[in-house]
């Protein structure tokens, strides 16, 4: 069966959105992956389709009810995954563990994922614990809801599925693939606004090109991500490393 993504949301009309465009959209049309957006309000029990209530203990805002969320999760688990191991249930939350390239690769290797998009002040903690929901965060920022972070998670994951990216070797050299940030890229024209493409990239010497790119990756990582650089110096596999890092580097041709 193809990879299946189920998104639990108050705004199902937002999907597929950008996930329906470009390579991901083509893969969706080709059934390389499937998408279902489920409305939390379908599991409400009153005529107003209420899914939230005031916080216990007082405070501003509203909290999504545990019974509503759990019913939606149970529905998603029961639909479309027959014969496969249950997919992970991820709740997009600013207090979750950082979402990484390694986690994306793990998801891409499985049957699919269920993404819970919170709103208001968040989801009742009892639903998170009772359904063993994994909380993840796509950055140190707070969003109005989980829909945009959910799209980011799906974008990072689906592009790793077989046949989605036209040139699989392009996944090898990108940022985080080997624990370092990716080197800069250049293309024609050779000279633009008095800036030239580095001569080494036009030399045709693949060994020198590979060495230059490696040095650039190290310099950028040291400058912008000292946490990754420290892990690199320790010789440890950082959290962002994926199986793609084990593949050999394939240098690109210079300007012809």
User: Which one of 133, 158, 183 terminates a domain?
Assistant: 158
Is the pLDDT score of 99 beyond 60?
yes
Looking at the DSSP bridge assignments, the partners of residue 84 are none
224 and 113, same domain (yes or no): no
Q: Is 148 helix (H, G, I), strand (E, B) or coil?
A: helix
106: nearest Cα among 35, 161, 34, 164: 161
| Mean pLDDT to the nearest integer, 132-146 | 96
pLDDT value of residue 79: 83
48-57, pLDDT tens digit by residue? Answer: 999 999 999 9
Residue 256 confidence class, pLDDT cut points 50, 70, 90: very low
Share of the chain above pLDDT 70, in %: 85
CATH number of the domain bearing residue 173: 1.10.1270.20
pTM for the whole structure:
0.84
State residue 166's pLDDT score: 74
Same domain, 179 and 124: no
Whole-number pLDDT of residue 97 = 97
Same domain, 30 and 116: yes
Spatial separation of the C-alpha atoms in residues 241 and 102, rounded to whole Å: 5
Whether 133 maps to a domain, the answer reads yes
Q: How many domains does the chain have?
A: 2
Same domain as 18, residue 73:
yes
Which pLDDT score, from 0 to 100, does residue 248 have? 29
Helices (H) and strands (E) in the chain, counts: 7, 9
The proportion of the chain whose per-residue pLDDT surpasses 90, expressed as a percent, equals 79
Task: Please tell me the predicted confidence (pLDDT) of residue 191.
Answer: 95
Question: Per-residue pLDDT averaged across 61-65, rounded?
Answer: 96
- Between 168 and 6, the more confident residue is 6
What mean pLDDT comes out for the span 35-45?
96
Domain closes at, from 126, 158, 190 = 158
Q: Do residues 82 and 1 touch, judged by C-beta distance below 8 A?
A: no
**Same domain for 33 and 140?**
yes
148 and 179, same domain (yes or no): no
Of 158, 177, 212, the residue at which a domain comes to its end is 158
**Are 16 and 96 in the same domain?**
yes
Same domain, 125 and 225: no
- Mean pLDDT of the 167-189 span: 77
Give tens-digit pLDDT for 2-39.
899 999 999 999 999 999 999 999 999 999 999 999 99
Tell whether 29 and 124 lie within a shared domain. yes
| Pairing mode of beta strands 52-53, 112-117 | unpaired
Residue 81 lies in a domain: yes
According to the model, what pLDDT value does residue 164 have?
A: 95
One domain, residues 104 and 203: no
Answer yes or no: do 54 and 143 share one domain. yes
Structural domain boundaries enclosing 181: 169-246
Query: pLDDT of 205-250, one tens digit each?
Result: 999 999 999 999 999 999 999 999 999 999 865 444 433 332 323 3
Same domain (yes/no): 129, 180: no
CATH number at residue 42: 3.40.1280.10
Give a yes or no: residue 99 inside a domain.
yes
Left if phi > 0, otherwise alpha if psi is -120 to 50, otherwise beta: which for 163? left
């Amino acid at each position: 069966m193809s990879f299946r993504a189920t998104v639990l949301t108050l705004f199902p009309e937002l999907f597929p959105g950008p996930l329906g465009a470009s390579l991901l959209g083509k893969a969706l049309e080709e059934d390389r992956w499937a998408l279902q957006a489920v409305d939390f309000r379908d599991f409400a029990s009153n005529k107003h389709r209420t899914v939230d209530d005031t916080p216990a203990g007082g405070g501003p805002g509203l909290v999504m009810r545990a019974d509503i969320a759990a019913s939606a999760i149970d529905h998603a688990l029961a639909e479309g995954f027959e014969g496969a191991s249950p997919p992970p249930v991820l709740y997009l939350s600013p207090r979750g563990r950082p979402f990484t390239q390694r986690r994306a690769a793990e998801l891409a290797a499985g049957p699919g994922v269920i993404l819970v998009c919170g709103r208001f002040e968040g989801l009742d903690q009892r639903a998170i614990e009772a359904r063993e929901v994994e909380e993840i965060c796509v950055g140190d920022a707070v969003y109005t809801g989980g829909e945009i972070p959910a799209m980011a998670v799906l974008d990072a994951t689906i592009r790793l599925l077989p046949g989605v990216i036209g040139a699989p070797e392009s996944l090898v050299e990108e940022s985080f693939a080997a624990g370092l940030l990716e080197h800069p890229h250049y293309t024609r024209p050779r000279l633009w606004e008095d800036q030239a493409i580095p001569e080494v990239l036009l030399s045709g010497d693949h060994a020198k090109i590979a060495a230059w790119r490696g040095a650039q990756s190290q310099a950028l990582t040291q400058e912008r991500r000292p946490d990754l650089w420290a892990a690199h110096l320790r010789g440890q596999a950082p959290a962002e490393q994926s199986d793609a890092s084990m593949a050999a580097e394939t240098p690109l041709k210079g300007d012809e």
